[in-house]
Amino acid sequence: MPAAEQNYHAMRDELTTLTGIVRALLAERFTEVHAVTDVWLTLPSQDRRALPSGRRTGPEPIANTLAGTVVVVDGAGLDDASGRVALSEACREVGLDPTGAELIRLGDYATFRLADGRVVARVSRNGRLFTDAAREVAVARWLASVDVPAIPALDVDQPVIAEGRVVTFWESVSDRPEYGTPVELAVLLRRLHRRAAPAELDLPPVNPFRKALPRIEEASGLSEDDRGFLRRRCGELVDAYAGLSFELVTGVVHGDASVGNVIRDRDGRPLFADLDGFAVGPREWDLVLTALYFERFGWHTAEEYSAFVEAYGYDVMAWDGYPVLADVREFLMVTWLSQNAATDPNVAEELTRRISDLRTGASRNGWQPF
């Protein structure tokens, strides 16, 4: 058997095994075990710096070398107040002033702009995201070296662990958010997709469902009926995704490529933002959100989508796997939104609408962007 065919069958076997694991987890209602704290995270910051398990600058996992257990803090409670506590400690670590910081976004991260206007800080929901954050900083520095425009990581020793959360620091490129156009996104993606990521970045394979199940289980704003529905829907989509045959060459992807993650700097230049989803996988993964925004949500016009296709050079909607990939993406948008439903009435209302539409197959044209 040729080596390429052997590799293909090995990858399919691994995917089949992963599918079985996910289905088993779903059957058991997937209760993720969280370590609420450990010795390292409960120590004062001045004592933590003296330990071998203190702040780390490389992309290795956070492990407690004292007890041998992974260190995490339950992230369901991330809000403005708890984010500021972590921000204050992290700023002290790197010599920045957190006084007067402005919360500008709350999602997977609490994102703050410091009062001097020159720095943006991102605070994670928990310490489990340390590896992702370290890789995100490394990705930003690699992109700068290969002429792919992206928001620069601040030149400080980071990521920083603070109050059991992970904090990263970025240059503030604009005074107010101004998002790019579909064409600008397509141009950035063409440039990115022509690059080969160096092995030392250790980019993971695209794993669409990695965060979906923890979000479903941790979302306190979900009813048990909706939680059960989302579990079942996740299992269906895992199977459907496993059966896809992609047309484009596998390579580095942004992972969350939409106009919402293209920010114009003060000179009007479009830059990639939110680099934590970088991975290796099918390039269709980076194209489907723009198609979905047009075809199902009406967030882009037909003219905007046509211009995107022309600028990139491929129409993902013409691929027969598009409906499944679009289903996966819109499902992940629902699980992402569920994180803040318990604390934001507007999010709760939108989440209820979206889950109802998933259940009934109703038009998604009324979905609102967040």
| Per-residue b or e along 141-180, where b marks 16 or more CB atoms closer than 10 Å to that residue's CB | ebbeeeebbbbebbebebbbbbbbbbbbbbebbbeeeeeb
- What sign results for the dihedral spanned by CA atoms 162, 71, 63, 219? negative
pLDDT along the chain (370 residues), means of 10: 49 48 40 30 36 33 27 61 95 97 89 95 86 94 97 96 95 92 98 96 94 90 93 96 96 97 96 95 98 96 98 98 98 92 88 94 89
Contacts of 58 (CB under 8 A, 6+ apart): 134
Residue 318 has what DSSP assignment?
G
What are the two backbone dihedrals, phi and then psi, of residue 77, each rounded to the nearest 5 degrees? -95, 15
- pLDDT tens for each residue of 269-326: 999 999 999 999 999 999 999 999 999 999 999 999 999 999 999 999 999 999 999 9
pTM of the complete model: 0.77
User: What pLDDT is recorded for position 129?
Assistant: 79
User: What pLDDT is recorded for position 11?
Assistant: 52
The domains of the chain, with CATH numbers, are 32-172 (3.30.200.20), 177-370 (3.90.1200.10)
d(CA 23, CA 232): 9
Which tokens sit at 65? Answer: 């070398």
- pLDDT tens for each residue of 175-184: 888 999 999 9
Looking up tokens 């004592």, which residue turns up? Answer: 47
User: What pLDDT is recorded for position 168?
Assistant: 97
